Amino acid sequence: MTRTLSVLASDPSHLPLLTVFKESGVTQKYGFEIEIDVVGGAKAPTMAHRPRLLLAGEVDFVSGVHHETYKARARGEKRFVYLAQTQNRWDDRLMVSPEITSIQDLRGKRILCHLKVSCISGNLTAILESCGLNSDEFEIYPIESMSGNLQSYVDRVVAGEAHGTLVDMPFDLYGQKKGLKILALPERPVIHNTTILATTDYIRDNKDTVNAFLKALIEAIHFFKTRPTEVVGILRKNLAQRYGLDDEEYYVHLQREWAKLLMRKPYPLAGAIQNVFDLDAAKDSKVQEEIGPMEPWDLHYLRRIDDSGFIDKLYTA
């Protein structure tokens, strides 16, 4: 009998990979299917539901939870474990109105973003400060709820409510079609999007499932990177209604750009781990004194798969 594993995504921005993971058929080789829920739905109405559901065993894996694990460990809750990181580069695009020609032009300007969390507004603030702006010289305005209209970030800039907005792909292409442009930002290593989180209890009791899940995830990444036509079809079929974008070119763009970001071997970069720690956890003196950046990570399951030659064989077949 095929099992169904529950995966909770922290945000719709995780769906490109997770949708291909679910729909490509790779999980069936390992005897399971996945059910995907997204925060904001009936299963997890708020971000706060993610750790609760995971600890209660009501979901098998969470995609996301980039900061709370450190504070949880400082409180004595040490069961959260990161198992894999599928991308290590920030993929948010900063779309700006035509009169903005450089980062310096953002002084005194409002920038829209989705959620006031460190991995979004915190990273943008850090990037702008690294380019010479002070945090009081620009306004990052988080829109906590868009009532499902993911195009509204772009539309509000077009309407003159702000001078820029952070968007996920493929809304960068939508923005360009509306007359906005991408303002290039410096590269930044991040723990972002599909970070795979489980608990020590679950891993102890389901080692074979964890191994199968990670192998299927690695195969889903391979599928995403090497079978673009099929991926475009999966993305368009499953995401067009949610995104409000039907044209195939959006999903060609989404596949191409995500394929560049996804890691063949989903290890985190050391710089990305340090970044996520510095952005949030290290600002809490109790966390900084008691917790190290690597503590929530357990990569030996991934390493065992990698050392077996499993990943290399996928890309040399």
pLDDT tier for residue 147 given thresholds of 50, 70 and 90: low
- Whole-number pLDDT of residue 96: 98
C-alpha span between 131 and 223 (Å, rounded): 37
Q: Does residue 165 sit in the same domain as residue 280? A: no
What is the mean predicted confidence (pLDDT) over 237-259? 97
Q: Tell whether the model's pLDDT for residue 289 goes beyond 90.
A: no
Let me know whether 169 and 234 are in one domain: no
In terms of C-beta density within 10 A (0-12 exposed, 13-18 middle, 19 or more buried), how is residue 229 classed?
exposed
Query: What value, to the nearest 5°, has the Cα angle with vertex 125 and ends 274 and 130?
Result: 75
Instruction: Name which of 167-171, 252-256, 285-289, 294-298 the model is least confident about.
Output: 285-289
Task: State how many domains the chain has.
Answer: 2
Among 182, 210, 227, the domain-final residue is 182
State yes or no: cis peptide before 268, omega within 30 of 0: no
Phi/psi at 170 (5° precision): -95, 20
Q: Give the phi and the psi of residue 38 in degrees, each rounded to 5.
A: -120, 140
**Both structure tokens of 256:** 């191409």
Determine what percent of the chain is predicted with pLDDT higher than 70: 98
Distance CA(117)–CA(110), nearest Å, equals 17
**In the listed set 118, 152, 182, which residue is the last one of a domain according to the structure?**
182
* Whether 68 and 200 share a structural domain: yes
What is the Cβ-side half-sphere exposure of residue 220, based on CA atoms within 13 angstroms? 28
What's the CATH number where 163 sits? 3.40.190.10
Whether residue 212 sits in one domain with residue 172: no
pLDDT score at 162: 96
DSSP assigned state of 262: B
Q: How far from 127 is each of 68, 124, 186, 275, 279, CA to CA, in Å?
A: 22, 5, 7, 12, 12
77-129 tens-digit pLDDT: 999 999 999 999 988 999 999 999 999 999 999 999 887 777 788 889 999 99
E strand segments, the chain: 3-9, 32-38, 61-63, 80-85, 93-96, 110-113, 139-142, 164-167, 181-182, 195-199
Q: What pLDDT sits at residue 144?
A: 67
Instruction: Compute CA distances 191 → 146, 237, 275, 293, whole Å.
Output: 24, 28, 8, 12
- Residue 138: pLDDT over 90: yes
Same domain, 24 and 155: no
Q: Give yes or no: residues 71 and 101 share one domain.
A: no
The answer to whether residues 122 and 249 belong to one domain is no
Q: Is residue 198 domain-shared with residue 295, that is, in the same domain?
A: yes
Where residue 148 falls among pLDDT bands split at 50, 70, 90?
Answer: low
DSSP string, 170-232: THHHHHHHTT-EEPP----B---S-EEEEEHHHHHH-HHHHHHHHHHHHHHHHHHHH-HHHHH
Tokens of 57: 């065993």
Structural domain for 103, as ranges: 93-182
Most confident range, picked from 135-139, 210-214, 279-283: 210-214
Same domain, residue pair 156 and 281: no
Strand arrangement, sheet containing 80-85: 32-38, 3-9, 61-63, 195-199, 80-85
266 plus 209 within the same structural domain = yes
Last-in-domain residue among 182, 212, 247: 182
Are residues 159 and 288 both part of a single domain? no
Confidence at 146, pLDDT banded by 50, 70, 90: very low
Q: What is the mean pLDDT of residues 175-181?
A: 97
* 154 and 295 belong to one structural domain: no
Length of the chain, in residues: 317
198 in Cβ contact with 302 (< 8 Å): no
b/e sequence 16-43, b meaning 16+ C-beta within 10 Å: bbbbbbbbbebbeebebebebbbbbeee
Centre a 10 Å sphere on the Cβ of residue 182 and count the other Cβ atoms it contains: 14
Nearest to 14 by CA among 242, 269, 208, 205: 242
pLDDT at 19: 98
